[in-house]
Structure 1
Amino acid sequence: MQKGRLEAFSDGVLAIILTIMVLEIKVPHGDDFTALKPLLPICLSYVLSFIYVGIYWNNHHHLLSSARQISGGVLWANLHLLFWLSLTPFATGWMGENHFAPATLAVYGVVLLGSGIAYFMLQNCLIAVNGPASPLAHALGHDWKGKVSLVLYGAGIGSSFVLPWLAGAAYVAVALMWLVPDPRIERVLQDHPKPEAQNQL
């Protein structure tokens, strides 16, 4: 199976998700800076979600770049990931409109957790198709960052109704952790160039 259509479709969906999120930010009716104050929670939730979607787009690109082949199972796993990511605008808007209320923080965490699990499943499907000795499997290794992220999402959901600030801190911590460049796949791609790239040398 060719992966070009999968990458193009995923890019299109992620672009639509970002567009929907920014359209949720309504223009204030005032003409001074005080009119922007009510939009601060909305803007903060938008920035956090923009970072998350950007992280997924970046890692999704690297993930598929390192895969030699895909399967029908990979297609469904990818759709599963896109389903959870498509809920991001709703969770983001609800959280921002209600100033990070406990219930909204919990729902936002559920969307993040669902997206994280879906991405983990997509990785495993790609490894199953490409083999445990593939460059992709070698690059991902034990994927401690992915596993720690899922734990932090769960902690955020659990603390939403007890310590809302802790839930927000957990979500921000995961985003910051993934903002740090992760060169694993890039290093493996340099060591194991694609066949078409080798033919061009």
Structure 2
Amino acid sequence: MLKTARLEAFSDGVFAIAITLLVIEIKVPEDTAHLAEQLRHLWPSYLGYVISFLVIGLIWANHHAMFDHIASADRMLLFLNTLLLLLVALIPFTAGVLASALRNHEGERTAVVLYGAVLVAGGLPFNAIWEYARRGHRLLGDTISPAEARAISRRFLLGPVLYGAGTALGAVLPVLGIIAFALLIPFYWLPPQMSRLTAKSA
């Protein structure tokens, strides 16, 4: 078994780079003679930046909370975590595609579905990390009980389902998908109600 310190440090680095790359999509206007108008035209980039910054920050926060309870790692856990980071690193690209489609008023549906698909796909290794670690309490420490681990599992499992629903809405009407992604941010930023969830699982 391995300590998780290096895994967490590497993950934090990837999260930090991905979240920083988002600002590159916001291009500095060249036509400063009409600067206010040019800045207004960048609204799709602002939107993609804010949503994606909060989404990556959210994934990082939940990843951090998850590893508060994971005491050790093995090669399989390292692999699952690498898959998660692979998809996190894709978010700046999908944010740029989304901003470009909104700015050009073309391909919005495809861009929203692509964005949502990456979020759904990212939820799979995230859940796999937790499920692998908690089965038989194999990699968890004594900071959490099996009942609490199951409660967190149910909350995590909702992620791909809800993002999948948002993606499906976006395939019908792109603006609905964007609204769904935005509304899921505060939902998952809220701390889990551990006592209530645990009570339900008892």
For Structure 1 versus Structure 2, the TM-score category normalised by the shorter chain is: 0.7 to 0.9
> Which consecutive unaligned segments of at least 5 residues does structure 1 have?
189-201
Q: 1:124 aligns with which of 122, 131, 142?
A: 131
Q: Are 2:175 and 1:165 equivalent residues in the alignment?
A: yes
Q: Which residue of structure 2 lines up, in the alignment, with residue 35 of structure 1?
A: 38
Deviation track 1:10-58 (CA, whole Å, cap 9, x = no partner) reads 0111111112111221111233322111210111111001001101111
Query: For residues 69-84 of structure 1, what are the structure 2 equivalents within 5 Å?
Result: 69-84=72-87
> Which consecutive unaligned segments of at least 5 residues does structure 2 have?
none
With normalisation by structure 2, the TM-score equals 0.83
| TM superposition shift of 1:66 | 1.3
- Of stretches 132-141 and 110-119 in structure 1, the one that deviates more from structure 2 is 132-141
CA RMSD, aligned part only?
2.4
| TM superposition shift of 1:71 | 1.2
Which whole-Å CA distance do the structure 1 matches of 2:141 and 2:64 have between them?
20
| TM superposition shift of 1:181 | 2.6
Amino acid at match of 1:173: L
Q: Identical aligned pairs, as a percentage?
A: 30
Q: Are 2:93 and 1:93 equivalent residues in the alignment?
A: no
Q: Which residue of structure 2 lines up, in the alignment, with residue 16 of structure 1?
A: 17
Q: Are 2:187 and 1:177 equivalent residues in the alignment?
A: yes
Q: Which residue of structure 2 lines up, in the alignment, with residue 193 of structure 1?
A: none
CA contact (8 A) 2:48 2:96 kept: yes
| TM superposition shift of 1:138 | 3.7
Which whole-Å CA distance do the structure 1 matches of 2:193 and 2:23 have between them?
30
State the number of aligned residues: 186
Question: Secondary structure at the residue paired with 1:130?
Answer: coil
Distance 1:48 1:137, change over 3 A: farther
Amino acid at match of 2:139: N
Which whole-Å CA distance do the structure 1 matches of 2:155 and 2:21 have between them?
29
With normalisation by structure 1, the TM-score equals 0.83
Q: Which residue of structure 2 lines up, in the alignment, with residue 7 of structure 1?
A: 8
Q: Which residue of structure 1 lines up, in the alignment, with residue 49 of structure 2?
A: 46
Which whole-Å CA distance do the structure 1 matches of 2:68 and 2:92 have between them?
27
| TM superposition shift of 1:78 | 0.4
Deviation track 1:41-97 (CA, whole Å, cap 9, x = no partner) reads 111111001001101111111111211211111101100110111110110000011
Question: Secondary structure at the residue paired with 2:172?
Answer: coil
Q: Which residue of structure 2 lines up, in the alignment, with residue 26 of structure 1?
A: 27
- Of stretches 126-135 and 27-36 in structure 1, the one that deviates more from structure 2 is 126-135
Question: Secondary structure at the residue paired with 2:171?
Answer: coil
Q: 1:110 aligns with which of 117, 138, 159?
A: 117
CA contact (8 A) 1:131 1:137 kept: no
Amino acid at match of 1:79: T
| TM superposition shift of 1:132 | 10
Q: Which residue of structure 2 lines up, in the alignment, with residue 199 of structure 1?
A: none
